[in-house]
Structure 1
Amino acid sequence: MTLLLLSAAISSAPINLENMVAPTDLDNVKVVQLASNQDASQFLIFIKKSVPLHLHKEHSEMVYIVDGEGKMQLGDKSFTIKKGDFVKIDENTPHGVTVTSPQPLKVLSTQTPEYFGKDKHPVTDHD
């Protein structure tokens, strides 16, 4: 029992996202998995240039902008995102981002349910 409690305490330890920095050799996107279970997966994502328009057919996504700025497309809307912003992305909603700040965009992404990286579908202007 003590071992189980210790294990749970370790996995619940806080992670300081402010102290996590993009790799110096970042070409475009780096994804760091922070946590995951059957209900949701959390990732810290560094974006240097852009993420092309795509959608998730079986997942919703919530993103919190930890640092940087960008121009986001969400469905038929386009808007600026910056540090402190929160965006909810429903299933089947096309979304993408282009970084506009000198530093990479750093976002906390939560996907529900648990995400294994297979539900990312490119969207073209013809879709």
Structure 2
Amino acid sequence: MRGINRSHLVSRSESKFAKVKKAQTSDGLEGAIGGNFWRVQDVLKNQRLPPDDIVKFIYLAEGPNLTTDIAFARDEVPLHLHRKHDELIHVLEGSGTFRVGKSFYKFGPQSIIYIPEDTVHGGKLDGEIKILSVYTPKFDIRKPDRIFVDENGKPITM
């Protein structure tokens, strides 16, 4: 798999998981990104997936009961699960096949994928995708609840 360092999938280091700052929007509005309001097209326009990475997270917001991010991924989302978090994914761009539990789904732009806690999920991508993820309860980005698993759901070491 192209010799890619996937350690950031576990640690979400600052360089891979950065809070979005205020930015100039496409229609000239100042400060429309960050705080409590984002325009997805402007977040996507100003961020790129580095060529040697398969995933990048952009932190948007967190509250006592949820965390949101935009993620860019290429080629695959390795099988994993979250022991204590539900996840809702809104596919913004891209397509592929996604596994949730033992079921497989074809997805494309505007698809919504719900993943209950402790459910194996991941997928094969048709190139690059961009998604909005919402986790509940709050997802601690310093100690992510992300366990990588094999096809049978058994934990593996990355």
> Per the shorter chain, which TM-score range?
0.7 to 0.9
> For 1:103-123, what per-residue CA distance to the aligned partner results, in whole angstroms no more than 9, with x for missing partners?
x20000000011014210111
**2:39 maps to what in 1?**
16
Q: Residue 48 in 1 paired to residue 70 in 2?
A: no
Please give the alpha-carbon distance, in whole angstroms, between the structure 1 residues aligned to 2:63 and 2:38: 17
Q: Which residue does the alignment assign to 2:95?
A: 69
Secondary structure at the aligned position of 1:49 is classed as strand
Which of 105, 108, 111 is the matching residue for 2:135?
A: 111
State the TM-score, normalizing by the size of structure 1. 0.83
Q: Which has the higher strand share?
A: 1
- Number of equivalences: 115
After TM superposition, the score normalised by the length of structure 2 is 0.68
Consecutive unaligned residues of structure 1, counting only runs of 5 or more, are 1-9
Matched, 1:80 2:103: no
**Which whole-Å deviations, capped at 9, do the CAs of 1:41-61 have from their partners, x for residues lacking one?**
000000012111110000000
Higher deviation after alignment, 61-70 or 17-26: 17-26
Structure 1 Cα separation of the partners of residues 148 and 49 of structure 2: 28
4+ residue runs over 4 A deviation:
none
Q: Which has the higher contact order (CA 8 A, sep 6+)?
A: 1
RMSD of aligned C-alpha atoms? 1.6
> Sequence identity, in percent?
25
Task: Rate the CA distance shift 1:38–1:82 in 2: closer, same or farther, 3 A.
Answer: same
Please give the alpha-carbon distance, in whole angstroms, between the structure 2 residues aligned to 1:50 and 1:66. 16
Residue type of the alignment partner of 1:48: R
Uncovered stretches (5+) of structure 2, i.e. residues with no partner:
1-33
Q: Distance in 2 between matches of 1:114 and 1:24?
A: 25
Distance of 2:48 and 2:94 partners within structure 1: 15
CA distance in 2, matches of 1:55, 1:48: 19
CA contact (8 A) 1:55 1:92 kept: yes
Mapped contact 1:18–1:66 kept (Cα < 8 A): no
Query: Where does residue 150 of structure 2 map in the other structure?
Result: 124
1:90 aligns with 2:116: yes
What residue identity is the alignment partner of 2:114?
Answer: K
